[in-house]
Every structure is written in C-alpha cells, then in structure tokens.
A and B are shown apart, each in its own frame.
Chain A
Amino acid sequence: MNLSRRLLIGIPYLWLLVLFLIPFLIVLKISLSDYDISIPPYSPKFDLSAGWEGIKDYLGSLDFENYAFLADDPLYYTAYLSSLKIAAISTFLTLLVGFPIAYGMASAPEEWRPSLMMLVILPFWTSFLIRVYAWMGILSNEGLLNQFLIWTGLISDPLVILNTITAVYIGIVYTYLPFMILPIYATLEKLDGSLLEAAEDLGCTRISAFWLVTLPLAKPGIIAGCFLVFIPALGEFVIPSLLGGSDTLMIGKVLWEEFFSNRDWTVASAVAIILLLILVVPIILFQRNEQKQREAAK
C-alpha cells in the first residue's frame, strides 16, 4: 500500500480518534470518579506530575459506584425506556409522513425535483430553536391552531396540546422529517422504472408491485432514514423541554438535571455512557446481521 492511500484511509480513523474516542474516554474517566466541591467538580483529577506511581494510584481510585447507583434508582431505567419509546414512536411517525413525500418527489417530473429538494431543505435556513419556538406559538392554548379550530367551529374549548407528549411528537416529526425524506428519496430516485414495468407485465397490480418491488429496494434508504431520526431523537433535550410537559420523562432531561441541578458530573457521565451503549450495541448487531445476509446472498 502506498503512502497516499494510507493517508487517505487514515483520515477517517484520525477523525474517529480525535472526535469520538478521546472524548469518550474522558467521559468514561469522569464517570468512574467521585463528586467533589472543586473546579472541575470531581476527584481524583488526572495529574501527570506524580509520575507512573501517580497514574497507578489514580487508576486504583476509580470505581463503578456511579453505575451501581444508576441501577438502584428506578428513575434512570424508566427514563431510558420512556426515551426509547418516544424515539421509536416518533421514528415510525416520521416514516409515515416522510415516505409518501419522498415517493412523491421521486415520481415528480425531473425538472421539478431540484425545487422540491430545495423546499425540503429550506427550513434549515432558520435556526432550529426559533422553529421550535414557533411551534409553541402555534400549539399554545391561545395559539394559531386553536384560534383557527375555534373559528371554524370544530371545537369550542381550546385543545391542550402544548406541554403534552403530543407536542413532543409533533416537534420531533417536524424537526427530523428532512433526515427521513432525503435518504429515502435518494434510493427511490435511483430505482429502475423498468423493474416496475416488468412486475406489471408479469401480472402484478400496481399496489402489489409497490410492496414487492419498490419497498424492498427502498429498504436501505428507509433504514438510513430511521437511524438518522431515531438516534438524535433518543437523546433529544430541547424539544421535550420546550414543548413537553413536566411529566415528559426523557433521558436527555435527566442528564441535564444530573449535570446542572445536582452538579454531579460523574453520574451525568455514567448516564451518557449507558445511553451510548444502548445505541451502539443494537447498531453493531444490526450491521453484523446485514453483513451475514449479504454473504449468504453471495
């Protein structure tokens, strides 16, 4: 292997090392330390001046106390489970909304597609925070939605949507919709139309051709879209704290509270590590499975 190729392969690894592995190790280290009133608020601190013995002492003083604590209190697994549920439901809802849009875009005349694509990306031009605040204005009791519904006479009392779990779902689906649409659109756009024609020639109805041909071929896009929505939704903090009620329990909020209210960086780090494991393990299992299938197909 020549040098330039090695360099090229090295870049993603360097990226992973600097931006993922090192921060991960720092967080792991904090999660094994103890709370302390100082700057920063944990001990022991890493000190190289004591030499090799110091490092050994240091490693010896780390323990898994914080993880044991997480297992003790039902708050944490309830929050993890509730986050998983919210993330799963909102991923499914985003798929329901996103797939028809992507399908429509891919079936639109070719000259329209760039403008449709633009429309999907357009919301990113405004800050995410402002868009979530706009939803507060739409969903509140005196908000646009309720005013409109009351005006049409459909309801007489305002619907309470803001500060409920419904508002959280609306917020997540709205925010992450482009991440679902774009990968699905990318696979559907490349779909070979002659396959559908062949299916119909062989006696498939249009609907069964969709189920038997389009959907399986769009699977990689659907899976990519679901991952892109599910992963950030799981740790979501801004949407539940602005749109959700006080009883919307999500791990992102619990993490915030550990960090800011309890000032306990060590427990907060342990919560973050567990969250990461919850995400990484299924993704690795999934990829293994994919690989096996691919090998079996060969």
Chain B
Amino acid sequence: MKTTTILTAALLAATSATAQEVRVYNWSDYIDESLLEKFEAETGLKLIYDVFDSNELLETKMLAGSSGYDIVVPTGTFLQRQIQAGAFQKLDDSQLPNKDNLWDVIQERTEKYDPDNAYSINYMWGTTGIGVNSGKVAEVLGEDAPIDSLALVFDPANMEKLADCGVYFLDAPTEMIPAALAYLGEDPDAQDAETIAKAEPVLSAVKPYVRKYHSSEYINALANGEICVAFGWSGDILQARDRAVEADNGVEILYHAPVEGALMWFDQMAIPVDAPNPEGAHAFLNFIMDAENMAAASNYVYYANGNKASQEFLAEDVIGDPAIYPDEETLQNLYTQTPYGPKVQRTVTRMWTKVKSGT
C-alpha cells in the first residue's frame, strides 16, 4: 500500500512537472540568454532550452516524430516540407495577442513557405554572404579586393591567394549552390537538375582553397583571426565582428551581402503536432513576440527580426546597420528560395558530396 502511494505521488509529480515545462529547440548562439530567465520569472513555467546547428538535424527529429519539443525553429524552406509532412500544429491566434506586432514586409515573404502564416511566426531573418577579416584580405588581395562580390569566393584566382590565410564555407548545399548560380548569373532559385549542375564546376574549382566546410565554427575562427574569409550567415559573421571587438585583438570583421544577389532566409518558430505542452508553447511565442523582448534578442545576436513593434527598441548599431536591416536597394537584390523536391534534393546532396570529396 505504502509503495503504491509513493508510486502514485511520484507519477503525479512527473506529470505535473511536464505540464509546467516548455521545451524549446533553437539554433546555437541565437538568443539573449537573460530572456530565458525572464520568461521563467514571468510565466512560472520551467524552460528547457536546447540548441542545434543544422536544419537537417532538426528535420530528422521532426520526421521521426515525438521529438518532445514544444517549439522548434526551422528555416522557411525546411518548414514548408515539414508542414507538408504534417509535423506542425496550427497556431491558436487567441493565445497570441502580440501577433499584431509582426512586420507585414516579412509576413508577405514567409507566406511562400507557410501559407497564411498559419503554422509559424518569424523569429529572425537574415542574408547569406561574405565575412572578411578586412586587414588580412587587404594584405593578400590589396585594398580594392572585391569583398562585397561573389568573385571573392568563387574566382579561383582570388581564392588561391586567400587559401593560406584561411577560407570557410557553410556546409550547406542549399546555401552554396544558389550562391554559385547567382555568381554565374543564373537563376539562384533554379529547380531543374540541368541548371543546378552548372554550380558544380564553380564550387569544385575553389574547393582546393577552402579550409573547411562547416556551419558554425567560422564564428570563432573569424573572431580570433584564424581565417580571413567565411561564406556564412549575416548574424553569425556580425557576432564574430562583435567578439573580435570585445577581445580587442586587432581583428576587424566586415559583412557584405554580395552585390550579385544574396539569399534571404527566415527562421520560423513553430509548434510540433505532438508538442507535450502546446499552451506553454503559445505562451513562449507570445513572450518572444513582445516588442521589447524581441528587440533584446536582436540586439544580442545581430539578426533582423520580423517584428515591426520591436524596431523602436533596437540598438542603433542593429537597426542602423545596412548589413542587418538592408536598405531598400539591397532588399530588392535579395532572393528567396523554394525548397527542393526529393529528387532534386538528392542531386543536390550528391553534388555537394562530389564537390567536397571529389567522388
């Protein structure tokens, strides 16, 4: 009898514990961590915050089902396919009064991935472009190095000279292939195998000069001067800039969205269909859509957000920086991407393996 009581008590404790927990799975280096404590203090919910650094990893968890997370943050292209697979639940707007704060300019664009924005809200968005250690690049290529052009990373003549000082590329074919196509003047959003194949010689030609293909290590590598060029995500490169300034190590990092066109991407917060605590998830979404909270996150990670109301709380070096909030002209030059179908995806992955390993 006694054991049963203890057991029941333990079970009760376990179930009530899950009811008060919210599990969030977000990108690494992607939030001001003091917001997490603030959320717990405001709502009384316990927040469990895990991080990942690739959409592929997240998608595999989503497609396996029962991930146990209440909030996940896939990029738009991946989100679309996961919605198709039935991985998410529709948002209940009655629990999201702060949804009015969202920015229509971004909402219009994310509809491409999530029609009517029924399943997700925009967390942050940015561009994919070129980060340089300006001093070192000027040393190697001279003062007039094309640091805002894809020629810097796709012209073998430039890359050969930069190789010794170190170049990192994202290990993400869905980012690198559109960029190579943009360099060639092709449609970066091309979906047919024939056009996509044109990217391969461009990427293979510079492969010998790329030190590493990796999607998060370049932040530190840039910041401590280990490498001089990284092709990566805007906010990550701006974080590297910030870390270098803090370290006061004489490294100056600059970010440019390439003039040939840059990929614009959107990281969307969504609630898995089998989330253990959908109410808590809505509470978290509403919390993050609060103008001041969202501004705090952007001020910390140097990414633009999809929250119009937050803009008045943004620091001047965020809202005023065209690398983060592009001006009208640059905005016109940004392209979005349609997710690849399974067949094309296979071609793309295969091509990427071929580029990286020569096989």
Contact = CB atoms under 8 A, between A and B. Distances in A.
Select the residue from B59, B358, B359 with max chain A CB neighbours within 10 A.
B359
B349 A163 contact: no
B353 interface: yes
Contacts of A249: 357, 359
B56 interface: yes
Interface in A209-246: 245-246
Nearest to A157: B164
A246 B85 contact: no
B211 interface: yes
A78 B354 CA distance: 12
Interface stretch (B60-68, B95-103, B111-119, B190-198): B60-68
A261 interface: yes
A40 B66 CA distance: 10
B262 interface: no
Interface string A67-80: 00000011100110
Contacts, number: 72
Contacts of B84: 37
B291 to A, nearest CB: 35
A37 to B, nearest CB: 5
Interface of A: 35, 37-41, 73-75, 78-79, 141-142, 163, 245-249, 254, 257, 259-264
Interface of B: 54, 56-57, 59-60, 62-65, 81, 84-87, 171, 173, 207, 210-213, 226, 342, 345-346, 349-350, 352-354, 356-359
Nearest 5 A/B pairs, CB to CB: A260-B56, A246-B356, A261-B349, A249-B357, A41-B63
B65 A264 contact: no
A270 to B, nearest CB: 14
Nearest to A142: B226
Contacts of A73: 350
Contacts of A141: 226
B60 A39 contact: no
A297 B59 CA distance: 57
A263 B357 contact: no
Given A39-B63, A163-B212, A254-B353, A75 B85 contact: no
A79 B359 CA distance: 9
Nearest to A141: B226
Contacts of A264: 342, 346
Contacts of B356: 246-247
Contacts of A263: 56, 59-60, 63, 342, 345
A73 B357 CA distance: 14
B178 to A, nearest CB: 16
Contact of B353 (A41, A163, A257): A257
Nearest to A160: B211
B347 to A, nearest CB: 10
Contacts of B85: 37-39, 41
A59 to B, nearest CB: 24
Select the residue from A37, A38, A260, A261 with max chain B CB neighbours within 10 A.
A261
A259 B56 CA distance: 9
Given A75-B359, A257-B353, A35 B63 contact: no
Majority-rule SS of B interface residues? helix
A40 B63 contact: yes
B57 A260 contact: yes
Contacts of B213: 246
Contacts of A41: 63, 85
A40 B359 contact: no
Given A39-B87, A246-B213, 16 more contacts: A35-B342, A38-B86, A39-B62, A39-B63, A39-B64, A40-B63, A75-B350, A78-B359, A141-B226, A246-B212, A246-B357, A247-B358, A262-B345, A263-B60, A263-B342, A264-B342
Nearest to B211: A163
B64 to A, nearest CB: 6
A264 B350 CA distance: 12
Contacts of A254: 353
A223 to B, nearest CB: 32
A37 B207 CA distance: 33
Contacts of B81: 37
B212 A260 contact: no
A195 B350 CA distance: 58
A191 to B, nearest CB: 45
Nearest to A267: B346
B56 A37 contact: no
A28 B354 CA distance: 27
Given A261-B173, A263-B60, A40 B350 contact: no
6 contacts: A39-B62, A39-B87, A75-B353, A246-B171, A246-B357, A262-B346
Contacts of A78: 359
Contact of A260 (B54, B207, B357): B54
B227 to A, nearest CB: 10
Nearest to B355: A246
B353 A260 contact: no
B345 to A, nearest CB: 6
Contacts of B349: 257, 261-262
Contacts of A261: 56, 173, 345, 349, 352
Given A260-B60, A262-B345, A262-B349, A39 B65 contact: yes
Contacts of A246: 171, 207, 210, 212-213, 356-357
A259 B353 contact: no
A73 B345 CA distance: 16
Select the residue from A75, A163, A260 with max chain B CB neighbours within 10 A.
A260
Contacts of A39: 62-65, 85-87
